[in-house]
Amino acid sequence: MARQQRARFRAGSLFLRAFTGVVESGEVSVSGCNPSRTRRSVRCYLTYKKQYDDTEDAGAILATFSTGPTIRSYGWNLVTEIVGTFVLIFVIIMFGHTPSGLGPLAVALLVVSIGASLGGPTGYAINPARDLGPRIAHAVLPIRHKGSNNWAYAWVPVAGPVIGSVLAALVAYIY
């Protein structure tokens, strides 16, 4: 599958996961349902095991589990994650100050818009659980042809969202 096709597929599937995750939990929250990403990754592996077995591109296999930069520049990748997470958290906090019944749909559209605008450089984790749990699942699952888990990069989608969310909460508090 070409890189652009994978990006479009991931954006569409992320929208559905974000929307259904928020609807399943019954509430709009900053954390959503993302801690279940590890379980979803295992379920995805079991569902598509034959496709994984047939895929020899280790990078494509890792990309279905975790994020990765298009250009590795730890500093700029970190900034991108900080900005994306800041936008997500700040807007969700501000949603709490407006009367609206659109909660889950609005958050899902927000996640997709962040992905469309900021997702190119890093794959936009915007939540540590969106990358770390699935990366661990990739490490332990017996996937044929899998390559490195890219642990050298794994700190970026954890540190960036933590920093971005703290900054967003501080700005929202001051605002």
Domain count, the chain: 1
- What is this structure's pTM? 0.77
pLDDT band at 150 (very low <50, low <70, confident <90, very high): very high
**What integer pLDDT is reported at residue 40 of this predicted model?**
84
Looking at residue 19, its pLDDT comes to: 52
Write 141-145 long-range contacts (CB < 8 A, 24+): 141/41, 141/42, 141/45, 143/45, 143/52, 143/61, 144/52, 144/53, 145/52, 145/53, 145/55, 145/56, 145/57, 145/58, 145/61
Q: What's the confidence (pLDDT) of residue 8? A: 44
Q: Which of 145, 147, 157 is nearest to 69 (CA)?
A: 157
Q: What is the mean pLDDT of residues 105-114?
A: 88
- The domain of 73 spans 3-174
pLDDT tens digits, 49-104? 999 999 999 998 998 899 999 899 999 999 999 999 999 999 999 888 766 667 77
Q: 25: domain CATH number?
A: 1.20.1080.10
What does the pLDDT read at residue 29? Answer: 38
pLDDT at residue 134 greater than cutoff 50? yes
